[in-house]
Amino acid sequence: MNPLPANKILIKRLRSANSTNDAAINILKNQENIDWIIADEQLNGRGRRGNVWTSPLGGLYASVVISDDKIEYSHLSQLSILSSVVAAKTIEEIIGKNLIRSKWPNDIFLAEKKLCGILIESVFIENKFYVIVGFGINVKFTNEQNQAKFSYLQEISDKVSVEKCFNKLILNFNKIINIWDYGKSFTRFKNYWLMLTQDYGRIIKVRIKNILIEGVFENIDDHGNLILRVGGKKEIINTGEIFS
Ligand code: BTN
């Protein structure tokens, strides 16, 4: 993919959105162009598997639209790992290395608590395929209830700001998606992601819809799917949630 020059990136900033993923889709449906959309808060933030993503002021809620003609449905699982690497690199630039862990498919944890979640959706609008990647990063402390469950960049760096984090996210996304080159360089990002996970080689529980499967986290395949060894069998899992 050709790198987008920084001054050509189309960014929409909103004080409030229901969900930046939905806002991006609506903009595309109105036949307007958009690369990134960021909101100070979301009133109806959405997580994976129909979960709510509580989105008060202080967090980063941003979505990027991939509208490249060469992007296909089959790239989605790789994009999931890739987006997680984008978030991880961004976070590492802010709080330093060796603090975060990746959890399949694309969560980032700090001190055993979730720091970042990513929601990837695809849509066809007027016969054109778009991928929307929505990043939720906990930047500043919100309320105490959330602090029990989530971690925040502010725990490590008191100078952090949503704006700084967003700028780095844009740059890393641009850089990494271009190096990736529709999968040609996926392996190096997969390896980076694997270095960050604690689950490699461990027994994990994966929930797929309402079924819980236990097995050994064997690897990530070349599409970004999880390879789970269950008994003597390899299961290839492309959607689900890990419960270690
Ligand atoms: C998850 O871990 O369940 C995914 C959370 C994704 C949250 C982000 S915030 C920006 C974008 N807009 C949404 O409504 N969701 C994503």
The per-residue pLDDT for range 107-160, each reduced to its tens digit, is 999 999 999 999 999 999 999 999 999 999 999 988 766 778 899 999 999 989
Backbone φ and ψ of 75, nearest 5°: -85, -10
Q: For the residues 71-91, what does the mean pLDDT come to?
A: 95
Provide the pLDDT for residue 4. Answer: 63
Cα separation, 48 vs 70, in Å, equals 25
Q: Which atom from ligand 1 is nearest to the alpha carbon of 47?
A: 3
Task: Give the integer Cα–Cα distance in Å for 23 and 196.
Answer: 32
Domain boundary among 196, 217, 235: 196
- Measured in Å, residue 118 CA sits from the centre of ligand 1 at 5
Query: Is 43 among the domain residues?
Result: yes
The total number of structural domains that make up the chain: 2
Beta-carbon count within 10 A of 91 CB: 27
* pLDDT on residue 147: 77
Indicate the pLDDT class of residue 1, thresholds 50, 70 and 90.
low
Which pLDDT value is given to residue 185? Answer: 95
pLDDT in tens, 36-77: 999 999 999 999 989 999 999 999 999 999 999 999 999 999
Q: Report the first-to-last Cα separation within the chain, whole angstroms.
A: 36
Task: Give the tens place of pLDDT for each residue, 147-158.
Answer: 788 999 999 999
CB 17 within 8 A of CB 37: yes
Single out the residue of 47, 144, 60, 142 nearest to residue 94, CA to CA.
60
Check whether residue 147 and residue 217 sit in a common domain: no
How far apart are the C-alpha atoms of 45 and 18, rounded to whole Å?
6
Angle of helix 186-196 relative to helix 76-95, nearest 10 degrees?
Answer: 60
- 53, 83, 86, 133: residue to mutate for ligand 1 pocket, most atoms within 8 A of CB: 53
Query: Who lines ligand 1 at CB under 6 A?
Result: 19-21, 42, 45-48, 51, 53, 61, 63, 107, 117-119, 134-136
194-237 residue pLDDT tens: 999 999 999 999 988 888 999 999 999 999 999 999 998 999 99
- Do 129 and 233 sit in the same domain of this protein? no
Choose one of 42, 44, 86 to mutate for the ligand 1 pocket test, by most ligand atoms within 8 angstroms of C-beta.
42
By most ligand atoms within 8 Å of CB, the mutation choice from 16, 21, 162 for ligand 1 is 21
**Edge-to-edge strands, sheet with 226-230:** 233-237, 226-230, 211-220, 203-208, 241-243
Q: What is the CATH number of the domain that holds 122?
A: 3.30.930.10
CA nearest ligand 1 atom 15, residue:
46
More confident position, 180 or 210: 180
How many other CB atoms are there within 10 angstroms of residue 193's CB atom?
Answer: 21
Instruction: Give me the percent of the chain exceeding a pLDDT of 70.
Output: 96
Can you read off the two tokens belonging to residue 77? Answer: 């699982």
How far apart, in whole angstroms, are the C-alpha atoms of residue 125 and residue 208? 29
209: domain CATH number is 2.30.30.100
The answer to whether residue 21 is domain-embedded is yes
Burial 139-170 (b: 16+ CB within 10 A, else e): bbebeeebeeebbbbbbbbeebebebbbebbb
Q: Is the peptide bond before 105 cis (omega within 30 degrees of 0)?
A: yes
Element housing 91 (H / E): helix 76-95
Tell whether 81 and 126 lie within a shared domain. Answer: yes
- Is residue 13 very low, low, confident or very high in pLDDT (cuts 50, 70, 90)? very high
pLDDT of 2 higher than 70: no
Closest by CA to 89, choosing from 212, 7, 1, 196, is 196
Q: Are residues 209 and 152 in the same domain?
A: no
pLDDT value of position 145: 63
SS3 55: strand
For 216, the domain range is 203-243
Rounded mean pLDDT, 95-109: 96
Instruction: Examine residue 76 and state whether it is found in any structural domain, yes or no.
Output: yes
- pLDDT band per the 50, 70, 90 thresholds, residue 20: very high
